[in-house]
Amino acid sequence: MSKIVITGGAGFIGSHIAEGLAKDNHEIVIVDNLDDYYPIDLKKRNIDIALNSGDATFINADITDLSRMKEIIDDTVDYVYHEAAQAGVRISVENPFKPNDINVFGTLNVLKASMDADVKKVINASSSSVYGKVKYMPFDEQHPTEPVSPYGVSKLAAEQYCRVFYEVYGLPTTSLRYFTVYGPRMRPDLAISIFTRKMLANEPITIFGDGEQTRDFTYVEDVVEANKKLLNNKSTDGKILNIGSGNRISVNDLIKNIRELVGSESEVKYAKVQKGDAENTLANVNLANQLIGYEPRVNIEKGLARFIEWMKVKNN
């Protein structure tokens, strides 16, 4: 079994990856600075779940601190899953400096420490936000990258540093472009989380735009399986892969589906489009299927039902 460092391991996706790899009997080191971007109590619960899943430890550290990264990512570490980031498209519009500091400089620190420690691979969490302006759909990995938010720019820069560290320095890296991941333990500021919480309470819902914008929503379980498949896989070295569901749904239809599952009477209100929001996303996952056998298994109907059941239990 391998020793694996997971940066951002207290977050939504990172904690699911930590839990899954711990259950597979790997030695897991969760690294997180417990940033208060959303409630720290939620992150602590995520950590506890991972710690109770197998051989896992937690270190409170910040990826912007190179010396700490070098201490943690040493020559005993086999793999690094780099999930730490300043998330939030709209937040990045308000403050473009924080995502740059964390997502770009922080990624450089993780890469440098990993290179010095001679790890087998760094798996970098990227985002469909790197695509931005739509030229055609579905997005394949060759689609032009013109981000429409500082967040998207920072994730694109991180991807390119990963590629360069492979091509120039020989550090094996793979970047996964996640398409709107959702599921249990998801961040409370994400759309599905907000809509479900408000519908369960029969509170009004606000949609930014006309609701006809579409998203490719990816269930977190599929994301974890994609990440697991990168262990001991050299065919993905230096590559960038889309990880999505390969399907899209409009925000209006998403709300309709949640309403039916919850039995809600929430009123829907419409507001002006927010700066930095992508209009449409849809993943072409053929490359991921070809290289790692990636096949998304949880469609939006099944995923929403699972998430809503989790929300009901959490709120009781």
Q: Any idea what the CATH number is for the domain that residue 75 is in?
A: 3.40.50.720
Quote the domain boundaries for residue 102: 3-182+220-246+281-297
Active-site option among 151, 161, 166, 219:
151
At residue 103, the pLDDT reads 98
Residue 97 lies in a domain: yes
With respect to residue 263, please indicate whether it lies within any of the assigned structural domains. Answer: no
Q: For residue 5, what is the enclosing H or E element?
A: strand 3-7
Tens digits of residue pLDDT in 63-118: 999 999 999 999 999 999 999 999 988 889 999 999 999 999 999 999 999 999 99
pLDDT of 316:
62
151 catalytic residue (yes or no): yes
pLDDT of residue 88: 85
Burial (CB < 10 A; 0-12, 13-18, 19+), residue 211, is: middle
| Predicted pLDDT of residue 314 | 78
CB atoms closer than 10 angstroms to residue 95: 12
In a domain, 251, yes or no: no
Q: Does residue 270 fall inside a structural domain?
A: no
Whether 288 is covered by a domain: the verdict is yes
Give the pLDDT confidence score for residue 277 in this predicted structure.
79
Low-confidence stretches of the chain (pLDDT < 50) are none
Rounded distance, CA 74 to CA 142, Å? 35
The answer as to whether 198 is a domain residue is no
Report if residue 24 sits inside a domain.
Answer: yes
Helix (H) or strand (E) holding 84: none
Provide the pLDDT for residue 274: 83
Tell me which residue has tokens 């711990």: 22
In a domain, 316, yes or no: no
- Count of the separate structural domains present in the chain: 1
